[in-house]
Amino acid sequence: MIYFTLIMKTVVITGCTKGIGEALAYRFARENYKVIGIARDEEKLKLLKEKLEAEFNIKFNYLVADLSKYEQVSKTIDFLSVNDFDVLINNAGFGLHGEFVELDIDAQIAMINLNVTALVRLTHFAINKFKKLGKHDATVINIGSTAGFMPGPYNAIYFATKAFVNSFSQAIHEELEGTGINVLCICPGLTKTNFFENAKWDINGQMMTSEEVADITYQSYVEKKVIVVTGFYNAFMISIIKRLPESWKRYLTKRLLK
């Protein structure tokens, strides 16, 4: 008699209560993954747990944490040390629109803490955990941005944090060659979420949906890709932008972002 054992994998998603993170929670739950969600809004986490567990018959576990705070990232690492997982998605992030010197410096430091420091600490922890457990099919997915391919006047810190994510993720991917652990960087272009309202950034343009970004992320994860710009239009625009002289990039983004 042949017994089939269905081993469910687990994905950790930071910033799963809204936008791209919420769509990723649905996407992975649809593929029968257990989900561990991390965000600040406990009510939204509870609601998401009810919905995902009812709709997909999976287990949703969560932790309330503000990942812009160093000690709360430590608390998250403690929580994840006693919870097994196969995929970590560093998705939580925010932007702030305005002139660097005019924007509150503490808010901008909090952005670096969330978009960069928390992502680096969680990546470091996850890869060490995967190695220690001898996992040969584990992945870290970092949500970068098309913003990471150019400087962003009037969004200077946000664009710089995303340049860090795009570069860091690819470097770590190379260091892990042959281990079976993949690091994938997803670079969405404009995506319809609360991001722009939170960033106080009034912007118009062709936008993808969070669900489209989540589909591309899942597919890229399955195909073990390294860096992916979401959608043909964004990929085409970035391929042109990459060829421009730095002074043109600065001029264009300054006009677009002011």
Looking at 12-20, 53-61, 149-157, 174-182, which segment touches ligand NAP (CB under 6 A)?
A: 12-20
Looking at 4-12, 80-88, 89-97, 133-141, which segment touches ligand NAP (CB under 6 A)?
A: 89-97
Looking at 65-73, 120-128, 215-223, 232-240, which segment touches ligand NAP (CB under 6 A)?
A: 65-73
Surface-to-core class of residue 243, CB atoms within 10 Å of its CB (0-12 exposed, 13-18 middle, 19+ buried): exposed
Q: Please identify which residue in the block is written with the tokens 């470091």.
A: 124
What b/e sequence results for 211-229 when a residue is b if at least 16 CB atoms lie within 10 Å of its CB, and e otherwise? bbbbbbbbebbeeebebbb
β-partners of residue 10 are 34
Contact between 17 and ligand NAP per CB under 6 A: yes
- Angle among Cα 189, 193, 195 to the nearest 5 degrees reads 80
Residues within window 192-231 making contact with ligand NAP, judged by CB under 6 A: 193-195, 198
Shortest distance (Å) from residue 235 CB to ligand NAP: 13
- CA-to-CA distance for 148 and 155, rounded, in angstroms? 11
Shortest distance (Å) from residue 84 CB to ligand NAP: 22
Give contact residues for ligand NAP (rule: CB under 6 A): 14-21, 39-41, 44, 66-68, 91-94, 114, 143, 145, 188, 190-191, 193-195, 198
